[in-house]
Protein backbone atom coordinates (compact mmCIF):
# COMPACT_ATOMS: atom_id res chain seq x y z
CA UNK A 1 0.00 0.00 0.00
CA UNK A 2 2.87 2.36 0.76
CA UNK A 3 4.15 1.43 -2.67
CA UNK A 4 0.86 2.23 -4.31
CA UNK A 5 0.53 5.58 -2.59
CA UNK A 6 4.02 6.52 -3.73
CA UNK A 7 3.28 5.58 -7.35
CA UNK A 8 -0.12 7.25 -7.28
CA UNK A 9 1.38 10.47 -5.97
CA UNK A 10 4.35 10.53 -8.33
CA UNK A 11 2.51 9.04 -11.30
CA UNK A 12 5.92 7.72 -12.31
CA UNK A 13 7.35 4.32 -11.35
CA UNK A 14 10.96 5.42 -11.51
CA UNK A 15 10.57 8.40 -9.20
CA UNK A 16 8.32 6.46 -6.85
CA UNK A 17 10.91 3.70 -6.59
CA UNK A 18 13.55 6.27 -5.84
CA UNK A 19 11.38 7.76 -3.10
CA UNK A 20 10.95 4.30 -1.62
CA UNK A 21 14.68 3.63 -1.95
CA UNK A 22 14.19 0.58 -4.08
CA UNK A 23 14.61 -0.42 -7.71
CA UNK A 24 11.86 0.12 -10.24
CA UNK A 25 11.18 -3.48 -11.37
CA UNK A 26 10.12 -4.88 -7.98
CA UNK A 27 7.87 -1.86 -7.58
CA UNK A 28 6.17 -2.54 -10.92
CA UNK A 29 5.64 -6.13 -9.89
CA UNK A 30 4.31 -5.19 -6.45
CA UNK A 31 1.68 -2.95 -8.03
CA UNK A 32 0.74 -5.70 -10.47
CA UNK A 33 0.35 -8.12 -7.60
CA UNK A 34 -1.83 -5.65 -5.74
CA UNK A 35 -4.00 -5.25 -8.83
CA UNK A 36 -4.27 -8.99 -9.24
CA UNK A 37 -5.06 -9.53 -5.56
CA UNK A 38 -7.81 -6.92 -5.64
CA UNK A 39 -8.94 -7.93 -9.12
CA UNK A 40 -8.94 -4.26 -10.07
CA UNK A 41 -7.04 -2.06 -12.51
CA UNK A 42 -5.59 0.78 -10.44
CA UNK A 43 -3.46 2.57 -13.03
CA UNK A 44 -3.73 3.28 -16.74
CA UNK A 45 -0.21 2.96 -18.12
CA UNK A 46 0.70 4.21 -21.50
CA UNK A 47 4.37 4.05 -22.39
CA UNK A 48 4.45 7.78 -21.86
CA UNK A 49 2.35 8.45 -18.80
CA UNK A 50 0.69 6.84 -15.80
CA UNK A 51 -2.81 7.85 -14.73
CA UNK A 52 -5.09 6.81 -11.87
CA UNK A 53 -8.27 4.92 -12.65
CA UNK A 54 -11.47 5.61 -10.74
CA UNK A 55 -10.74 2.71 -8.42
CA UNK A 56 -7.16 3.85 -8.11
CA UNK A 57 -8.13 7.21 -6.71
CA UNK A 58 -10.46 5.54 -4.24
CA UNK A 59 -7.59 3.35 -3.09
CA UNK A 60 -5.28 6.33 -2.87
CA UNK A 61 -7.61 8.07 -0.44
CA UNK A 62 -8.34 4.96 1.58
CA UNK A 63 -4.77 3.76 1.64
CA UNK A 64 -3.57 7.09 2.99
CA UNK A 65 -6.04 6.77 5.84
CA UNK A 66 -5.02 3.18 6.49
CA UNK A 67 -1.32 4.02 6.50
CA UNK A 68 -1.98 6.94 8.82
CA UNK A 69 -3.86 4.61 11.15
CA UNK A 70 -0.95 2.17 11.20
CA UNK A 71 1.49 4.97 11.88
CA UNK A 72 -0.76 6.26 14.65
CA UNK A 73 -0.94 2.80 16.21
CA UNK A 74 2.83 2.53 16.41
CA UNK A 75 3.36 6.05 17.61
CA UNK A 76 0.63 6.01 20.26
CA UNK A 77 1.83 2.68 21.57
CA UNK A 78 5.35 3.97 21.94
CA UNK A 79 4.10 7.10 23.66
CA UNK A 80 1.91 5.08 26.01
CA UNK A 81 4.97 3.11 27.10
CA UNK A 82 7.25 6.12 27.51
CA UNK A 83 7.92 6.80 31.16
CA UNK A 84 7.22 10.51 30.81
CA UNK A 85 3.55 10.86 30.01
CA UNK A 86 2.13 14.03 28.55
CA UNK A 87 -0.19 15.39 25.92
CA UNK A 88 0.71 16.90 22.59
CA UNK A 89 -1.49 19.80 21.58
CA UNK A 90 -1.23 20.95 17.97
CA UNK A 91 -2.32 24.32 16.69
CA UNK A 92 -1.48 26.71 13.94
CA UNK A 93 1.29 29.08 14.84
CA UNK A 94 -0.07 32.51 15.68
CA UNK A 95 -3.74 31.61 15.93
CA UNK A 96 -5.83 31.80 19.09
CA UNK A 97 -2.82 32.83 21.09
CA UNK A 98 -4.72 34.26 24.01
CA UNK A 99 -7.18 31.38 24.21
CA UNK A 100 -4.31 28.91 24.11
CA UNK A 101 -2.51 30.70 26.90
CA UNK A 102 -5.62 30.70 29.08
CA UNK A 103 -6.24 27.05 28.35
CA UNK A 104 -2.72 25.97 29.22
CA UNK A 105 -2.81 28.00 32.39
CA UNK A 106 -6.18 26.67 33.50
CA UNK A 107 -5.28 23.09 32.69
CA UNK A 108 -1.99 23.28 34.55
CA UNK A 109 -3.96 24.30 37.63
CA UNK A 110 -6.21 21.22 37.38
CA UNK A 111 -5.50 18.39 39.77
CA UNK A 112 -3.83 15.49 38.00
CA UNK A 113 -2.81 17.51 34.98
CA UNK A 114 0.08 16.36 32.83
CA UNK A 115 2.77 18.25 30.98
CA UNK A 116 1.42 19.66 27.71
CA UNK A 117 3.70 19.85 24.73
CA UNK A 118 2.51 22.51 22.32
CA UNK A 119 3.21 21.71 18.69
CA UNK A 120 2.95 24.68 16.39
CA UNK A 121 2.36 23.86 12.78
CA UNK A 122 1.28 25.25 9.47
CA UNK A 123 -2.27 25.52 8.13
CA UNK A 124 -3.99 22.25 7.31
CA UNK A 125 -1.49 20.16 9.20
CA UNK A 126 -3.22 19.53 12.52
CA UNK A 127 -5.73 17.02 11.14
CA UNK A 128 -2.92 14.91 9.76
CA UNK A 129 -1.01 15.17 13.03
CA UNK A 130 -4.01 13.85 14.94
CA UNK A 131 -4.63 11.07 12.43
CA UNK A 132 -1.03 9.88 12.52
CA UNK A 133 -0.79 10.02 16.30
CA UNK A 134 1.80 12.79 16.39
CA UNK A 135 -0.60 14.94 18.36
CA UNK A 136 -3.35 14.05 20.85
CA UNK A 137 -5.53 17.11 20.65
CA UNK A 138 -5.66 20.23 18.49
CA UNK A 139 -7.12 23.69 18.29
CA UNK A 140 -8.70 24.13 14.87
CA UNK A 141 -10.53 26.95 13.14
CA UNK A 142 -13.63 26.27 11.16
CA UNK A 143 -14.32 26.77 8.36
CA UNK A 144 -10.61 26.93 7.47
CA UNK A 145 -9.90 23.55 9.01
CA UNK A 146 -12.12 20.56 8.61
CA UNK A 147 -13.13 18.47 11.59
CA UNK A 148 -14.20 15.49 9.49
CA UNK A 149 -13.35 12.32 11.31
CA UNK A 150 -12.64 14.09 14.56
CA UNK A 151 -14.63 14.78 17.67
CA UNK A 152 -14.73 18.47 18.50
CA UNK A 153 -16.20 21.02 20.89
CA UNK A 154 -16.77 24.64 19.95
CA UNK A 155 -14.87 27.09 22.12
CA UNK A 156 -15.26 30.52 20.65
CA UNK A 157 -16.70 32.25 17.59
CA UNK A 158 -15.49 35.53 16.20
CA UNK A 159 -15.93 37.78 13.20
CA UNK A 160 -13.25 38.36 10.63
CA UNK A 161 -11.43 41.54 9.72
CA UNK A 162 -9.35 42.53 6.74
CA UNK A 163 -5.75 43.55 7.37
CA UNK A 164 -4.49 46.25 5.00
CA UNK A 165 -1.22 48.13 4.69
CA UNK A 166 -1.32 51.30 6.78
CA UNK A 167 -2.55 54.26 4.80
CA UNK A 168 -4.39 52.22 2.22
CA UNK A 169 -7.38 54.08 0.69
CA UNK A 170 -9.87 51.62 2.18
CA UNK A 171 -8.32 51.81 5.65
CA UNK A 172 -10.70 54.54 6.85
CA UNK A 173 -13.87 52.67 6.07
CA UNK A 174 -15.98 51.55 9.03
CA UNK A 175 -16.44 48.16 7.43
CA UNK A 176 -15.99 46.41 4.11
CA UNK A 177 -17.83 43.65 2.30
CA UNK A 178 -16.05 40.51 1.23
CA UNK A 179 -16.81 41.39 -2.38
CA UNK A 180 -15.06 44.76 -1.99
CA UNK A 181 -12.01 43.09 -0.51
CA UNK A 182 -11.82 40.58 -3.32
CA UNK A 183 -12.26 43.32 -5.89
CA UNK A 184 -8.93 44.93 -4.89
CA UNK A 185 -6.81 43.89 -7.86
CA UNK A 186 -3.73 45.68 -6.47
CA UNK A 187 -4.01 43.92 -3.10
CA UNK A 188 -4.79 40.28 -3.87
CA UNK A 189 -5.63 37.75 -1.18
CA UNK A 190 -2.77 35.34 -0.62
CA UNK A 191 -2.88 31.68 -1.55
CA UNK A 192 -2.45 29.19 1.29
CA UNK A 193 -1.17 25.70 0.57
CA UNK A 194 -3.86 23.02 0.20
CA UNK A 195 -3.88 19.62 1.87
CA UNK A 196 -1.49 18.19 -0.72
CA UNK A 197 1.04 20.99 -0.17
CA UNK A 198 0.28 22.59 -3.53
CA UNK A 199 -1.03 26.12 -3.83
CA UNK A 200 -4.26 26.81 -5.72
CA UNK A 201 -4.01 28.83 -8.89
CA UNK A 202 -4.71 32.53 -8.75
CA UNK A 203 -3.17 35.98 -8.71
CA UNK A 204 -2.14 36.29 -5.04
CA UNK A 205 1.30 35.56 -3.60
CA UNK A 206 1.95 32.11 -2.18
CA UNK A 207 2.12 32.11 1.59
CA UNK A 208 3.02 29.50 4.19
CA UNK A 209 2.62 31.19 7.56
CA UNK A 210 1.51 34.37 9.24
CA UNK A 211 4.97 35.89 9.28
CA UNK A 212 5.18 35.73 5.50
CA UNK A 213 1.63 37.00 5.27
CA UNK A 214 2.12 40.10 7.40
CA UNK A 215 5.42 40.83 5.75
CA UNK A 216 3.64 40.90 2.40
CA UNK A 217 0.87 43.10 3.77
CA UNK A 218 3.33 45.56 5.28
CA UNK A 219 5.04 45.72 1.88
CA UNK A 220 1.71 46.59 0.29
CA UNK A 221 1.65 43.42 -1.79
CA UNK A 222 -1.36 41.69 -0.31
CA UNK A 223 -4.22 41.96 2.13
CA UNK A 224 -5.80 39.22 4.21
CA UNK A 225 -9.07 38.36 5.89
CA UNK A 226 -8.34 36.95 9.35
CA UNK A 227 -10.13 36.40 12.67
CA UNK A 228 -10.31 39.60 14.68
CA UNK A 229 -8.40 38.19 17.64
CA UNK A 230 -5.27 38.35 15.53
CA UNK A 231 -5.33 42.16 15.88
CA UNK A 232 -3.86 41.80 19.37
CA UNK A 233 -0.70 40.48 17.82
CA UNK A 234 -0.34 43.24 15.24
CA UNK A 235 1.56 46.41 15.85
CA UNK A 236 -0.24 49.50 14.64
CA UNK A 237 1.53 49.59 11.30
CA UNK A 238 -1.44 47.82 9.77
CA UNK A 239 -4.97 49.02 9.11
CA UNK A 240 -7.79 46.80 10.25
CA UNK A 241 -11.36 46.95 8.97
CA UNK A 242 -14.20 44.60 9.94
CA UNK A 243 -15.72 42.41 7.20
CA UNK A 244 -19.14 41.55 8.60
CA UNK A 245 -20.17 39.26 5.75
CA UNK A 246 -17.06 37.09 5.87
CA UNK A 247 -17.85 33.73 7.47
CA UNK A 248 -17.43 33.74 11.24
CA UNK A 249 -14.50 31.69 12.49
CA UNK A 250 -15.08 29.16 15.25
CA UNK A 251 -12.17 27.95 17.30
CA UNK A 252 -12.72 24.32 18.26
CA UNK A 253 -10.81 21.83 20.31
CA UNK A 254 -10.63 18.52 18.43
CA UNK A 255 -9.33 15.03 19.20
CA UNK A 256 -9.39 11.58 17.62
CA UNK A 257 -12.82 10.08 18.25
CA UNK A 258 -11.57 6.94 19.98
CA UNK A 259 -9.25 8.77 22.34
CA UNK A 260 -9.37 7.19 25.79
CA UNK A 261 -6.83 9.46 27.40
CA UNK A 262 -7.74 11.10 30.67
CA UNK A 263 -5.45 14.01 29.87
CA UNK A 264 -7.28 14.77 26.61
CA UNK A 265 -10.63 14.53 28.35
CA UNK A 266 -9.48 16.89 31.10
CA UNK A 267 -8.05 19.31 28.58
CA UNK A 268 -11.30 19.37 26.64
CA UNK A 269 -13.35 19.85 29.77
CA UNK A 270 -11.11 22.68 30.89
CA UNK A 271 -11.34 24.32 27.49
CA UNK A 272 -15.12 24.24 27.33
CA UNK A 273 -15.33 25.81 30.80
CA UNK A 274 -13.14 28.79 29.98
Q: Which residues bind DNA (CB under 7 A)?
A: 12-14, 21-26, 28-33, 45-48, 50
Q: Is 257 in the site for its own copies (CB under 8 A)?
A: yes
Handedness of CA 200, 100, 265, 73 (dihedral sign): positive
- Report what 151 binds from DNA, its own copies, none; CB cut-off 5-8 Å by kind: its own copies
- Report what 21 binds from DNA, its own copies, none; CB cut-off 5-8 Å by kind: DNA
Q: How far apart are CA 54 and CA 216, in angstroms?
A: 41
Q: Which residues of 242-259 are buried (b: 16+ CB within 10 A; e: fewer)?
A: ebeebeebbbbbbbbeeb
For the CB of residue 74, give the shortest distance to its own copies in the complex, in Å.
6
Q: How far apart are CA 195 and CA 178, in angstroms?
A: 24
Q: Which residues of 114-136 are buried (b: 16+ CB within 10 A; e: fewer)?
A: bebeebebebbbbbebbbbbbbb
List phi, psi (to 5°) of 128.
Answer: -60, -40
Chain Cα centroid distance, residue 136: 15
Q: Which stretch binds its own copies (CB under 8 A): 163-171, 179-187, 220-228, 253-261?
A: 253-261
Give the number of other Cβ atoms within 10 Å of residue 172's Cβ: 9
Q: Is 219 in the site for its own copies (CB under 8 A)?
A: no
Give the number of other Cβ atoms within 10 Å of residue 204's Cβ: 18
Q: Is 148 in the site for its own copies (CB under 8 A)?
A: yes
For the CB of residue 115, give the shortest distance to its own copies in the complex, in Å.
18
Site for its own copies in 95-134 (CB under 8 A): 133
For the CB of residue 36, give the shortest distance to its own copies in the complex, in Å.
12
Per-residue 3-state assignment (H helix, E strand, C coil) for 133-170? CCCCEEEEEECCCCCCCCEEEEEEEECEEEEEECCCHH
Interface mask toward its own copies for 46-75; x: CB under 8 A? -------xxx--xx-xxx-xx-xxx-xxx-
> Measured from the CB atom, is 65 or 248 closer to its own copies?
65
> Measured from the CB atom, is 45 or 61 closer to DNA?
45
Q: Is 167 in the site for its own copies (CB under 8 A)?
A: no
Q: Is 41 in the site for its own copies (CB under 8 A)?
A: yes
> Measured from the CB atom, is 21 or 84 closer to DNA?
21
Are the beta carbons of 160 and 227 closer than 8 angstroms? yes
Residues that bind its own copies (CB under 8 A): 1, 38-42, 53-55, 58-59, 61-63, 65-66, 68-70, 72-74, 76-78, 80-81, 133, 148-151, 256-258, 260
Amino acid sequence: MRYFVAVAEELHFGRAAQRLSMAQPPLSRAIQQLERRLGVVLLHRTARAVALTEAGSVLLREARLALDAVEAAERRTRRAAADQPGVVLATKAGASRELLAKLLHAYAAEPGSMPVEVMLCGPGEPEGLLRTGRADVALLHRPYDTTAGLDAEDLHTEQQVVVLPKGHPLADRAYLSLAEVKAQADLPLPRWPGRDGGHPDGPGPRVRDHTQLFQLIALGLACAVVPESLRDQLRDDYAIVPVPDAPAVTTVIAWPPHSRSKAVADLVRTATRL
